Amino acid sequence: MSREQQAVERARTAFLTGRSKPLDYRIGQLKALQRCITERQKDISDALKKDLNKSEIGTPLYETLGLEGEIMLAVNKLAQWAAPRPVEKNLLTLSDQVFIQPQPLGVVLVIGAWNYPWAVTLQPLIGVIAAGNAAIVKPSEVSVHSSKVMEEILPLYLDKVTPPPPPCPVWSDCERDVPVVTGGVSETQELLRQRFDHIVYTGNSSVGKLVMEAAARHLTPVTLELGGKSPCYIDKQCDITIACRRITWGKFTNCGQTCIAPDYILCEPSLQDRVVEEIRKNVKEFYSDDPKSCVDYGRIINQRHFRRVMALVEGSTIALGGENDESLSYIAPTVLRDVKPDAKVMQEEIFGPVLPIVTVSGVDEAIRFINEREKPLALYVFSPDNKLIRRIIDETSSGGVLANDCLVHFSVSALPFGGVGNSGMGCYHGRHSFDQFSHLRGCLLKSLAMEGVNKMRYPPHTAKKLGWARFFILQQVDLGFLGRMAALAVLAVIAAVMLQRYLQ
Question: For residue 224, what are the contacts with CB-CB under 8 A and spacing of at least 6?
Answer: 201, 208, 211, 212, 419, 424, 425, 426
* Total H helices, total E strands in the chain: 17, 19
C-alpha 427/C-alpha 388 separation (Å) is: 27
Question: What is the SS3 assignment for 47?
Answer: helix
What does residue 99 show for φ and ψ, rounded to 5 degrees?
Answer: -155, 165
DSSP state of 12: H
In 378-440, which residue ranges form alpha helices assigned H by DSSP? 386-395, 430-436
What distance lies between CA 451 and its chain's CA centroid? 47
Q: Are strands 107-111 and 198-202 parallel, antiparallel or unpaired?
A: parallel
C-alpha 134/C-alpha 19 separation (Å) is: 10
Q: Dump the DSSP string for 149-218.
A: HHHHHHHHHTT--SSPPTT-S---TT--SS-B----HHHHHHHHTS--SEEEEES-HHHHHHHHHHHHTT
Active site residue 314: no
Pick the catalytic residue: 225, 232, 267, 278? Answer: 225
Pick the catalytic residue: 36, 238, 259, 427? Answer: 259
Question: Which secondary structure element, helix H or strand E, spans residue 384, and what is its range?
Answer: none
Q: How far is CA 414 from CA 73, 389, 432, in A?
A: 10, 21, 8
C-alpha 247/C-alpha 382 separation (Å) is: 10
Question: What is the SS3 assignment for 5?
Answer: helix
**Is omega for the bond preceding 163 within 30 degrees of 0, making it cis?**
yes
Question: For residue 157, what are the contacts with CB-CB under 8 A and spacing of at least 6?
Answer: 32, 33, 35, 36
Q: How far is CA 15 from CA 18, 133, 196, 387, in A?
A: 6, 7, 12, 51
DSSP state of 327: G
Active site residue 294: no
C-alpha 260/C-alpha 226 separation (Å) is: 10
Q: Which residues are catalytic?
A: 225, 259
